[in-house]
Amino acid sequence: MSHSRVARVAFDSALPQLDRLFDYEVPSQLASSIQPGQLVEVPFGRNSKTRQGFVIEVAATSDFKGELSKIVSIVSPRVLLTPAVIKLCTNLAARQALSFGELLKSACPDRMVRVDKSWSGTEGQGALVDNHEHEALPVERLVSLTVTPGFAEHSSAPESRWLHEIERICHRILESEESVIVCVPDFRDVARLKNLLEKMRLGEFLNVYDTGATKSEQFTRHLRALESRPQIIIGSRNALYAPLTNLGAILVWDEGDEAHQDESSPYLHSRDVALVRQTIEECRLIFMQHFKSTVIKRLENIGYLKALVGRKSRQTISFSSDGFRVDSLAYAVIKEGLKTGAVLVQVAAKGSSTSISCGDCDKRSACTFCGGPLWEDAKQQVVCRVCSGFNLQVRCRSCNSQKTKRGRAGATRTLQEFGKSFPSIRLIESTGDTELKYLKPEPAIVVSTAGAEPICEAGYSAIVILDAELELSRDHLDATEQAVRKWSNSLSLLAPGGKSAIIGVNPELGQSLSLWQVDELSARLLQERIELGFPPAVRLLSATGSRDDLTPVKQSLEAIEGVRILGISSIEGSSDSRLIATYPYSAGAEVAKLLRVAAIAPALNKRFSKSGRVQRPLTIKMDDAKVL
């Protein structure tokens, strides 16, 4: 049956059954105004209730043989999804075995009627002020830029060197009348970058994708991003979907940070979104970091990224491995640093004690409610790490003893111990539970967990990293990589001329860090992965569901050349199981296609959450290394 004009519509739904385009006839009165990227209202379902969807394509004919339903109305005349963003969602869905509809939720926030009707664009921005002499951008469009940790020297706005490097690149992109997306791990980085760019008189160019924004604010920034004037988009993962029409560059800071991996659907990593978008828009893509992840090192090795190093600055890093948690080196560096300013001490965990064990038989104490491991919080209350339940009277399950022994000191107890050694010095504890963001460059000892360090306005005069051996022994494939990355980010807060020390590293690693030979270290870690046949030498997938549903998926995957099934294992505390497999990059399209088909197989068992809601039978994650 022929139709005058056909619009193919997608719905922002994660349901695999809706993962396709639905054809609708375009009424004659809408034919001249309908465009891809618009939000429309259409009838849907047997009862003909209407729902909103996005026009993805407009075609002359439809392959559907029956009578098409007609579009009811165009909800907004604005094109809310640009062609580049539509293609980004399409390519990501195909590459990562995702539903196209669930990506639309990331690509476009909910439409706010009042904002949409009243929006007339932002007023003209001021001229670009040349704050200082900027170096030229690299000739290459695909770059890995390594920045030496530390505060920038001779800066009118004291901050970490990596932030000034981002400001320099943004300035150059704006000069070429183009826009730039800066993707950082979390809200703290967004706030620091916003603060610096405003000080450097780039505030009028900012469009901040703040995670705490209201729905109206989210839609407002989306409309602003659609404007053609140059701007700087800063934010975390979702900023990479900003609908810019003049995108000149994408900057991704600290790609190895676990915050770049989405923990909920669609389970994407910022790196993958940035790489796919760059291929579509052919803009610059710059990965910036203090320490390269093995993924970035692999992309350098195959020639996809050009490795560059920012202006080097001499590092003064000492290390020790004599077995004491706070040894003479740590005390000496702290004492020297307190003569001129604040000292940062990074620890591995918050609370008073990282663990609780039996005082008689030494066995790790378990929660009386769920059997999870116990620790002691800042108020010295014994809490379960799994269910957060308070355990008032701990009894050993093996010998029935009520005697307990505290494990390694956390941030709270470490601070108390420093209070005895430095009685007249101000003590500050900073963890994810505290709100302190900035502090004056006055003598003080700040004990902090990684990522929660307050910013000293002039940089810390000394930095000491404790619990290094604990970070390195974590039960993860990338334990060393993550440890060095965290330490590097802490060292970026060091004032020019300041001293630092890492306590508890073996001599080989300590020597690499003291000489700041981090590129060689990254290369060694990648080589180990290649020899083991683990990511990023290969790609990784995990599928979660019932064992009955996973078995046919396993059999289908085994038929693809290069796929290696690591196994199907039961998930502790759940009736579900998890299948894990690796596969070569060359098989990516075939594996993703198979998994998308498997997700909508009619024979799949129904799954329910603890609240009783229906869940997808299979949860598929691609390239999530946390499962190893």
Q: Give the distance between the most distant pair of CA atoms in the chain.
A: 87
- Contact indicator for 585, 592 with CB cutoff of 8 Å: no
Q: From CA 300, how far away is CA 211, in angstroms rounded?
A: 32
Coil/strand/helix, residue 51:
strand
CA angle 311, 313, 316 (to 5 degrees): 160
Contact, 436 vs 428, CB < 8 A?
yes
- Token pair for residue 546? 């019932």
CB neighbour burial string for 207-243, b if at least 16 within 10 angstroms, e if fewer? bbbbeeeeeebbbbbbbbbbbeebbbbbbbbbbbbbb
Q: For the chain, which ranges sit under pLDDT 50?
A: 1-2
Q: Are 625 and 525 in contact (CB under 8 A)?
A: no
- Of 254, 247, 216, nearest to 233 by C-alpha is 247
Cα separation of 583 and 558, whole Å?
Answer: 10
Strand extents, DSSP E, 167-260:
179-183, 206-209, 232-235, 247-253
Find out whether the peptide bond into 536 is cis, omega within 30 degrees of 0.
Answer: yes
Distance CA 24, CA 506 (A): 66
Which residues are registered as beta bridge partners of 40? 53, 74
The beta strands (E) that lie in 113-246 are given as 142-146, 179-183, 206-209, 232-235
* pLDDT the model gives residue 121: 82
Task: Provide the pLDDT for residue 395.
Answer: 84
Which pLDDT value is given to residue 1?
A: 46
Partnered with residue 570 across adjacent β-strands are 577
Q: Could you give the count of Cα atoms lying within 13 Å of 621 in the half-sphere of its Cβ?
A: 20
Listing from the earlier edge strand, what are the strands of the sheet with 39-44? 22-25, 6-10, 49-59, 39-44, 73-76
Is the whole model's pTM more than 0.85, yes or no?
A: yes
**H/E run at residue 558:** helix 547-558
Question: Facing residues of 47 across strands?
Answer: none
What is the residue-wise DSSP string for 593-624? HHHHHHTT-TTPPPEE-TTS-EE-S-EEEES-
Closest to 443 measured CA to CA, from 331, 315, 346, 334: 334
Please enumerate in sequence order all residues whose Cβ is within 8 A of that of 547, keeping only pairs 6 or more positions apart, or say none. Answer: 568, 570, 577
Structure confidence at residue 613 (pLDDT): 60
Cis peptide bond prior to 266, omega within 30° of 0: yes
Element of type H or E holding 289: strand 284-289
Stretch (H or E) spanning 398: none
User: CB within 8 A of 517, min separation 6: which ones?
Assistant: none
Q: Which two tokens stand for residue 240?
A: 């990479």
What tokens were used for 245?
A: 């029409």
- What sign does the CA torsion over 275, 276, 277, 280 have? positive
The encoded tokens of residue 261 equal 């991996």
Burial zone of 146 (CB within 10 Å; 0-12 exposed, 13-18 middle, 19+ buried)? buried
Cα-Cα end-to-end distance for the chain: 53
Gyration radius of the chain's alpha carbons: 27
The DSSP result for 431-469, as a single string, is -TT----EE-SSSEEEEEETT-PPEETT-EEEEEE--HH
User: In whole angstroms, what is the distance from residue 505 CA to residue 513 CA?
Assistant: 10
532: enclosing H helix or E strand: helix 518-532
CB 522 within 8 A of CB 292: yes
